[in-house]
Amino acid sequence: MNIQVEGIEQRYADRPILRGVTFHVRKGETLVIMGGSGCGKSTLLRILSGIERPVAGRVLFDGEDIVSLSEAGLDAFRKRWGFCFQGGALFGSQTVGENIAYPIREHTELGETVIDIMVKMKLDMVGLTGFGDLHPSQISGGMAKRVALARAMALDPEVLFMDEPSAGLDPVMSAAIDQLILDLTKKTRITTILVTHEMKSAFTVADRMILLHEGRVVTEGTPDEIRRTTDPLVRQFVDGMADGPIPLRRNRDEYLKSLTHAPSISSPSRKDMED
Amino acid sequence: MSSRWTDPLERFGRFWILSAEIADRGLLRPMRGQFPRLSEIIRSVDRMGVGSIPIVVLICSFVGMILAMQTAYQLSKFGATLYVASLVSVSVVRELGPLITAILVSGRVGAGVAAELGTMAVSEEITALRTMALNPVKILLVPRVIGLVISLPILTLIGDAVAILGGLLIGWVYLHLPPALFYKVAVEGLVMKDVLTGFAKSVIFAILIGLIACYKGYSVRGGAVGVGTATTETVVVSIVAIILADLLFTALFYFAI
């Protein structure tokens, strides 16, 4: 599926989260959305996958705008997508195998024997052969993420959405997940949109990447282009530096404003404080 | 308008929108042949109904005993202790059986449903269902409400029976009333209308507990605190709703029918 995202805006209680995000994803490529905490990247992924609706903008899947679709219309698309949640979002009352079988049982008329074989294949695919009978509470965080990936791939979707697949894992497991995603996406040529703030992950799996900052796309390019960029904001993010254009500390005026709730502090009151 | 006034209104509106969707998928669509999954309903009845039998038996038998002792204390002054039997049976079947059982179930089942759905909402399991093109109302909420509507009237009947048995035990041991006589007076004191009003009340209470617990659990935001708040609110709001509905229902039957 070709995906075209045009002018997406989102607000939570009058606080702007996304301010006109525009980009595209070509069929079969892996696009990584990078950005710091709170930059709106997870919100963007939720909008692209139809979980949330934006206040403005369009999301076109092969030319059809999903923003204006009804829930029933969205469901037709959702059957062709897979979504891998940050925390896994596995059903706690079901075993690992049942979790993977669930979308297959719900959306197909396949018999239990065929479903069993499909579940085993998906578990093999993510390197968890033989773990089907365990419950989500009995497996590690890294395994849960792999099960979530297997469940997202259960119906062989055309588009895969992934939210922070390697966040919160040890470096070895994180690298293993990245390699798994890379293998999967290259073998299946599935269109993938992946959100992460882990640079190593991003550079490993991406065909192209975009960087979100304060609700806007500030850069877009291949991993090599991003590596070579001289843009100070992108450099700060890629190199993981504390100092740079990305403001981590508020200036004095903003700090005073937040303390006093004053609408403006460029007036005599500020002068008083300086004195 | 300040959010202090609009928030409760918004919540009330959302409650009715969700209730309408549950009614549509649990009542209207089955009439057109789209049934909710039977296995889920059976699982709900097992967990909510069968699992609640011990506590209902225990509490209702005690309530029957207490009622017998309290009424015997008064009626013995008039030498009319035999009427303890009909007093217990009528007050239990019409009022106390449905009420006590519903309050017990709101604490045991309502809180459980809210906590379970709330945890699923917080861990994004409900969102995961939506991303799989599956409707959470149909899959999670409707079987639970139907499970309650099946379970509570049956639990109420069990509660009624053991409460009368509790009264019978007190009558036998303490008031020296033969069990056969107690049973005869207790049953003769009842008319069909008593049984039907008690049954109708338990159905309404089940719907109220189911809708409130589902709404509170389904709309949880904000992690563990949100789940805790939803659980507490489910019990408190359910009990208030049950008593209020009981008052309206009793007034309706007392004045109108």
Sign of CA dihedral B55, B61, B65, B70: positive
pLDDT in tens, A171-217: 888 888 899 899 988 888 999 999 998 888 899 999 999 999 888 99
Q: Is the pLDDT of residue B244 over 50?
A: yes
Q: Are the beta carbons of B131 and A76 separated by less than 8 Å?
A: no
Q: Which residues of A touch B120 (CB under 8 A)?
A: 91-92
- Nearest Cα residue in chain A from B131: A78
Top pLDDT among B14 and A267 is at B14
pLDDT in tens, B140-195: 999 999 999 999 999 999 999 999 999 999 999 998 999 999 999 999 989 988 89
pLDDT in tens, A125-177: 888 999 999 999 999 988 999 999 999 999 999 999 999 988 888 888 888 88
- Measuring CA to CA, which residue among B228, B119, B231 is closest to residue A136? B119
Per DSSP, helices labelled H in A9-140 are: 41-48, 71-78, 96-107, 112-125
pLDDT-based confidence at residue A265 (cuts at 50, 70, 90):
very low
Asked if A92 is an interface residue toward chain B (Cβ–Cβ < 8 A), one would say: yes
What are the C-alpha distances in Å from B4 to residues B8, B10, B23, B229?
7, 11, 30, 18
Asked if B39 is an interface residue toward chain A (Cβ–Cβ < 8 A), one would say: no
Asked if A81 is an interface residue toward chain B (Cβ–Cβ < 8 A), one would say: yes
- A residues 50-69 lying closer than 8 A (beta carbon) to B: 50-51
The number of residues making up chain A comes to: 275
Nearest by CB to residue B134, choosing from A50, A87, A106, is A106
Q: Are the beta carbons of B133 and A83 separated by less than 8 Å?
A: no
pLDDT in tens, A32-58: 999 888 788 889 999 999 999 999 999
B21–chain A nearest CA distance, Å: 13
Which ipTM was obtained for this model?
A: 0.84
pLDDT-based confidence at residue B257 (cuts at 50, 70, 90):
low
SS3 assignment for B207-246: HHHHHHHHHHHHCCCCHHHHHHHHHHHHHHHHHHHHHHHH
DSSP code string of B68-113: HHHHHHHHGGGT-GGGHHHHHHHHIIIIIHHHHHHHHHIIIIIHHH
- A residues 93-122 lying closer than 8 A (beta carbon) to B: 102-103, 106-107
Q: CB pairs below 8 Å between A and B: how many? A: 44
**Contact status, residue B111 vs residue B236, Cβ threshold 8 Å:** no
